[in-house]
């Protein structure tokens, strides 16, 4: 059974990279990352409502009254991660943004394993796990450094100019990168926490598809509230819907990828541990991100797969093996 979770975690990491890439295209069409996130999460929630009905999972909703309030908040991680990806991918590239997400994921997953949070069995740090984490972080550093050397400097733009996504264009010149770096770390760090919360909620609700549906309904509500508040403060453009007619069909897959990722991770973490799950999903995510970057898939800017990036990917694979099998 553990082998199934190992393989599944590796594969869904690739879905996470694809999700972030296609969401960038949806953002370009809608004109605001918050509107794009609302649409994608809404699509995922709708699909999960149908899936819950198909498996007869609505009966589990009667048990929600027995849940603790914090057990219903796992869905807050999805809009934070998705919006972070939409904001960071065009600025930093798929590999560099993914590297920041990885750092946050490793910090929170190790905390979950060491402290036994969310009723996840405690897993002490062994020498193999410690070496695996170091290999993972080293791989991310190598990838980000390689990304920085390969990237061309952006031309200066006026500080007050605004891009199509409704974000100040000055942020794309490299100035003030620290807030974006912190956003990437936090955006990644909430994912294992979401999985831990949803695993705990499953003990109350029972059906994993029902838990996934609850998580995404909370996510849609949260990002919709953010969108309404920011629109009322005139901090983000109004969503545009006409351009959606010209968006490729794969531009709608982001929310579905996210829902599969959330479902598999909260099932895998109790079985193989938070750090092991994250290590495997990270490896799959970075391999898929490297493919997206090197081939310019999903209309992303093409970035050459250099020797440092290949070295970094190798370190990720080694780190994942050490964490999972030592």
Among 32-46, 88-102, 119-133, which stretch is predicted with the lowest mean pLDDT? Answer: 88-102
- Residue 173: pLDDT band (50, 70, 90) is very low
Q: Domain coordinates of the chain in residue numbers?
A: 2-325
Residues above pLDDT 70, as percent of the chain: 88
Question: Helices 208-232 and 178-205, interaxial angle, to 10°?
Answer: 140
**Do 213 and 52 contact (CB within 8 A), yes or no?**
yes
Closest by Cα among 318, 316, 319, 253 to 95: 316
199: left (phi over 0), alpha (psi -120 to 50) or beta: alpha
State pLDDT tens for residues 35-59: 888 888 898 899 999 999 998 989 8
- Model's pTM, two decimal places? 0.73
How much is the mean pLDDT over the chain? 80
Residue 299 CA: distances (Å) to CA of 21, 234, 248 = 8, 29, 10
pLDDT of residue 139: 81
Q: What is the pLDDT of residue 214?
A: 94
């Amino acid at each position: 059974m553990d082998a199934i979770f190992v393989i599944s975690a590796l594969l869904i990491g690739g879905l996470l990279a694809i999700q972030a890439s296609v969401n960038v295209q949806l953002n370009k069409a809608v004109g605001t990352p918050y509107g794009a996130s609302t649409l994608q999460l809404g699509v995922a929630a709708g699909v999960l409502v149908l899936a819950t009905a198909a498996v007869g999972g609505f009966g589990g909703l009667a048990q929600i009254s027995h849940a603790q309030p914090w057990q219903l908040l796992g869905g807050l991680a999805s809009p934070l991660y998705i919006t972070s990806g939409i904001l960071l991918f065009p600025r930093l590239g798929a590999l560099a943004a993914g590297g920041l997400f990885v750092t946050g994921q490793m910090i929170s997953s190790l905390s979950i394993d060491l402290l036994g949070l969310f009723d996840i069995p405690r897993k002490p740090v062994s020498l193999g796990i410690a070496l695996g984490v170091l290999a993972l972080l080293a791989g991310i550093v190598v990838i980000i450094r390689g990304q920085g050397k390969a990237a061309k400097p952006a031309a200066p733009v006026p500080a007050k100019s605004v891009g199509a996504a409704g974000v100040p264009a000055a942020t794309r010149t490299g100035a003030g990168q620290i807030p974006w770096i912190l956003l990437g770390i936090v955006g990644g760090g909430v994912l294992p926490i979401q999985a831990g919360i949803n695993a705990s909620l499953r003990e109350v609700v029972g059906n994993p598809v029902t838990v996934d549906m609850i998580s995404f309904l909370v996510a849609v509500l949260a990002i919709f509230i953010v969108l309404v508040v920011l629109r009322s403060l005139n901090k983000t453009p109004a969503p545009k819907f006409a351009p959606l007619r010209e968006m490729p069909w794969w531009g709608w897959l982001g929310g579905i990828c996210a829902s599969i990722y959330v479902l598999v991770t909260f099932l895998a973490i109790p079985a193989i541990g938070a750090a092991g799950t994250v290590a495997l999903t990270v490896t799959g995510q970075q391999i898929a991100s490297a493919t997206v970057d090197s081939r310019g898939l999903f209309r992303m800017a093409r970035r050459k797969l250099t020797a440092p990036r290949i070295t970094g990917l190798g370190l990720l694979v080694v780190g994942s093996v050490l964490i999972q099998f030592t």
